[in-house]
Each structure stands twice: as structure tokens, then as C-alpha cells.
């Protein structure tokens, strides 16, 4: 069993919290608490994965890296989900890299153990498949957004999706790292962030970003954010409830 002071934090991950009590109790002894450091690589492209991660206060980026070193983020996962879908979808590797975008806590489970639980438990299997469908929607919409929308709109989408997965509206992230995530030049991010700060939407200083006007940020963002948000709310309705509660804080 997990230590008594750790077990309650399982429900800080919304997927785990959505499990029936009996299923969560069965899964609990298999979960290991972990601290995820900024920039930590949870798995590399093409390398065998060992664990599935359930973030609680951290965010993980799924990043594609090209042969020339250029990279772009294709999806993010935080406390609404997990990292490592290939381990229960029939594969042990993926062409993306999993990189910790925002440091924090989480839980992990050995892939072999989760596969057994996936095959055994109907509720867990349905939950993980729903999350996988939502994640695929995010990946597809990110590809469309990166191709058709401006850096300004991409930055707005990225900021909203990030704070949706954090307990506050504050991020620790340099413009260079954001540029790498979006697959654009740093100068483009600098210009876009400057516009948002001048408009009173964010405060940016020394690698720290705070969203101070979420409503204006939602007004400025492209439709891609809404498409992904609505699909998560349809498939994982409790995530929308939690997001709404934070928005009214």
C-alpha cells in the first residue's frame, strides 16, 4: 500500500479519480509516487518504455524530433490524463519523446502491470480508451493549428491548454522552450508574448508567465483550443467540471 500521506493524492489525477472506488483500491498498491523535474525525459523516440505516468501537478509534452534536431510538440498531458498510451495499446515504443514541460508530482506504474489491469478491468479499459481518443483529437488539431494558424494564435492555444492542466495560472517556461514546443523561431514567440503582455493578458518576467486575463486569452485564441476542449469534455466530462471550477476561483 502507498503511505497514508500519499494515497489521497491519487485523486489529484483526474483519470484515477474517475475510477470506481473498488478499481482504484485495486490499482493503488501498484502505483509509485514520483517527482518529475523540468526537462526530464520520460522516454525517448523509438526506445522501449517501461512505465505509464499519471501526472498530478506536472505537465508532460509529447515532442517529435526531426533528424536535423528541429522539434515540435504534438500534444501535452497533465492531471487530466496519462503518458504512455502505447504500453496498453499494443506497442512498447513511440516515435515521440516525452519531456517534462512543467515540474511537479505524479504516479507511475510498470507497463506490464497496467496491461494486466487493462485486460482485467472493464472500467479502467473504457476510461483509458476514452482518454486515448481525446489525446488523438488533440494531436490532430495541433497539426492543423501548426499548419494554418499564426504564432500568436498558437501561443494562445498553448497557454490555455497548459494552465488547464495546472492548479494555477502561472507557468515556469522560457520563450526559447516555448519556441521549441511550437516548432517556430524564438523571435516569433518573443513578439507574440510581447503583444499579449501589452494587451494585459499575461505577465512575463524571467522565464515566468502568469495569465492574468483568461477571458481575453480565450477571445484571442483560434478555434483549435475549443475543438480539443469540447472533445475532452465529451469523452472525459469531469475534466470540464474541474477546469470550470478553477476558472471561477
The CATH number assigned to the domain holding 65 equals 2.60.120.10
What per-residue confidence (pLDDT) applies to 172? 84
Instruction: Determine the pLDDT at residue 65.
Output: 83
**pLDDT higher than threshold 90 for residue 178:** no
Check if the beta carbon of residue 135 is closer than 8 Å to that of residue 144: no
In percent, how much of the chain has pLDDT > 70?
93
Instruction: Read off the pLDDT of residues 161-171 as tens digits, 9 standing for 90 and up.
Output: 999 998 889 98
Report yes or no: 135 and 128 within 8 Å, Cβ to Cβ: no
Task: Give the containing element (helix H, strand E) for 8.
Answer: none
Share of the chain above pLDDT 90, in %: 62
How high does pLDDT run on average in the chain?
88
Whether residue 132 is contained in a domain is answered as no
Q: Which domain holds residue 165?
A: 148-237
Least confident stretch, 57-71, 100-114, 133-147, 229-243: 229-243
pTM of the full predicted structure? Answer: 0.89
Q: Is residue 246 part of a domain?
A: no
Rounded to whole angstroms, the Cα distance separating 55 from 76 reads 11
Q: Calculate mean pLDDT across residues 172-188.
A: 83
Whether residues 152 and 224 fall in one domain: yes
Cell of 156: 494562445
Domain count of the fold of the chain: 2
- pLDDT tens, position by position, 21-47: 999 999 999 999 999 998 899 999 888
Distance CA 59, CA 51 (A): 16
Q: Are residues 163 and 227 in the same domain?
A: yes
Higher per-residue confidence, 211 vs 94: 211
Query: Within a domain: residue 139?
Result: no
Amino acid at each position: 500500500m502507498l503511505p497514508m500521506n500519499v494515497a489521497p493524492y491519487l485523486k489529484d489525477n483526474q483519470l484515477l479519480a474517475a475510477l470506481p472506488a473498488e478499481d482504484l483500491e485495486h490499482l493503488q498498491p501498484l502505483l509509485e509516487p514520483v517527482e518529475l523535474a523540468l526537462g526530464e525525459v520520460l522516454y525517448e523516440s523509438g526506445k522501449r518504455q517501461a512505465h505509464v505516468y499519471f501526472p498530478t501537478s506536472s505537465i508532460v509534452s509529447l515532442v517529435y524530433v526531426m533528424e536535423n534536431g528541429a522539434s515540435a510538440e504534438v500534444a501535452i498531458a497533465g492531471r487530466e490524463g496519462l503518458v504512455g498510451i502505447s504500453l496498453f495499446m499494443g506497442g512498447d515504443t513511440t516515435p515521440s519523446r516525452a519531456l517534462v514541460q512543467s515540474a511537479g508530482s505524479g504516479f507511475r506504474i510498470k507497463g506490464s502491470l497496467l496491461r494486466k489491469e487493462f485486460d482485467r478491468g472493464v472500467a479502467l479499459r473504457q476510461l483509458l480508451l476514452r482518454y486515448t481518443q481525446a489525446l488523438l483529437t488533440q494531436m490532430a488539431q495541433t497539426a492543423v493549428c501548426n499548419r494554418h494558424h499564426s504564432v500568436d494564435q498558437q501561443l494562445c492555444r498553448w497557454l490555455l491548454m497548459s494552465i488547464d492542466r495546472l492548479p494555477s495560472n502561472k507557468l515556469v517556461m522560457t520563450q526559447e522552450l516555448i519556441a521549441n514546443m511550437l516548432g517556430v523561431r524564438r523571435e516569433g514567440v518573443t513578439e507574440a508574448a510581447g503583444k499579449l503582455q501589452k494587451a494585459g493578458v499575461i505577465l512575463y518576467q524571467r522565464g515566468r508567465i502568469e495569465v492574468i486575463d483568461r477571458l481575453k486569452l480565450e477571445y484571442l485564441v483560434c478555434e483549435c483550443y475549443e475543438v480539443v476542449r469540447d472533445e475532452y469534455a465529451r469523452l472525459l466530462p469531469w475534466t470540464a467540471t474541474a477546469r470550470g471550477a478553477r476558472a471561477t476561483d
